[in-house]
Structure 1
């Protein structure tokens, strides 16, 4: 390719298209904007991954609970099957959760102009959750446990109960399923964090712990979005600006637009592509994945609810 300019924009396709010269500063501005949006998308994808694994765990709990409505058997084989199924979901969840909390400070810093300050603030936030939330500490410790030693769900329970009316007559049978980590089993792992093990009860409710953990992660994500909002929106505006500028010299068309550097092209580096379809995915994930910071206070019910009678 013959170069008229050191830095320019051009449609990255075969054919003759206009070349729009840009300065080296403008070139760097585009590169930095693209990197910011790429990291911002990665943050949303990682959070969506954690949420997806949490939903898989909750769906499995609901499905197994509902199966009890028609199948009351709960012998050793059934208990093993249930425990094994839940363990698979818990493993996916705790690994994705820990990966998120380990990387979020570094990623958030790359989406902010004051990167050092943002990294420090996010680190302080994750440490605060760790220090103040025993469920958070447990789930973080479980990541290493399930990766290197054993399972997390050691026992399951069926806390089904009848609901009573004001006359203490049974009205509805509520089915439920609980899953627990046992302290004695975790203690068999010499590598399990001693400080976390010491504070555990003999049985720890993993359903509650999982909900508390995802609530904390959601709180972190909400704050990261706030800290990176201005820089991320500015990065998108920069890409939009250059797409519009090129469209003015190419009959309104700016797809697929490449940002070229003569020096980098001679090093066999591909141009940086300018389009925003992939960033629309980030925006969609932001809109879809709302805050659930109080998740341990929420639950799903399939109870039959009488229709509301309007007051006359």
Structure 2
């Protein structure tokens, strides 16, 4: 059962990520077929994406917090393995600015604000002649200026990031 719970936690955060990707595709397709959208569309899209990011970030944190105990129970309380697992999480955190950024963003959403501050849509022509195609994309941004307003957000982590964080 512990291994099953472990897999469920993984499925939760992976599924939450998939929902974000689907929402991004839906927004991009809507923009392509329906053209220019009013402010209301951008506002509603941003609210939906914020909800989805909060679910995703919370699911990742749940995985991080609960997996060590599931692994421990699967391995008959082998403390050495648990210590190695916790060290692995810690090492990956220390080595990855992306991991750190996601954790700081999760803390921001839990204690101070939203993850998605801006959405931009791009449209460009790619190729020439018969192979010419329109390419539509969406960018989702956290804004450094908004994150800086949160007194609990580690300002030193923001010194090396651009004004818009994808």
* Fold equivalence (TM over 0.5): yes
Distance 2:159 2:71 in 1: 33
Bigger RCO of structures 1 and 2 (CA < 8 A, at least 6 apart):
1
1:190 corresponds to 2:151: yes
* Aligned pair partner of 2:39 in 64, 67, 76: 76
Distance 1:173 1:151 in 2: 32
Deviations, residues 204-254 of structure 1 (Å, cap 9, x unaligned):
11xxxxxxxxxxxxxxxxxxxxxxxxxxxxxxxxxxxxxxxxxxxxxxxxx
- Could you say what the CA RMSD is over the residues aligned between the two structures, in angstroms? 1.8
Contact 1:60 1:86 in 2 (8 A): yes
1:110 corresponds to 2:73: yes
Which structure has the greater CA radius of gyration?
1
Unaligned runs of 5+ in 2: none
Deviations, residues 177-207 of structure 1 (Å, cap 9, x unaligned):
11000011011111113343333221111xx
Q: TM-score, normalised by structure 1?
A: 0.50
* Aligned pair partner of 2:111 in 145, 148, 152: 148
Unaligned runs of 5+ in 1: 1-37, 206-312
Q: TM-score, normalised by structure 2?
A: 0.91
Structure 1 ranges of 4+ moved more than 4 A: none
> Residues 1-312 of structure 1 correspond to what in structure 2 (within 5 A)?
38-113=1-76, 115-165=78-128, 171-205=132-166
Relative to total residues, which structure has the larger helix share, 1 or 2?
Answer: 2
**Displacement after TM superposition at 1:170 (Å):** 7.0
**Displacement after TM superposition at 1:78 (Å):** 2.0
* Partner SS state of residue 70, structure 2: helix
Contact 1:104 1:122 in 2 (8 A): no
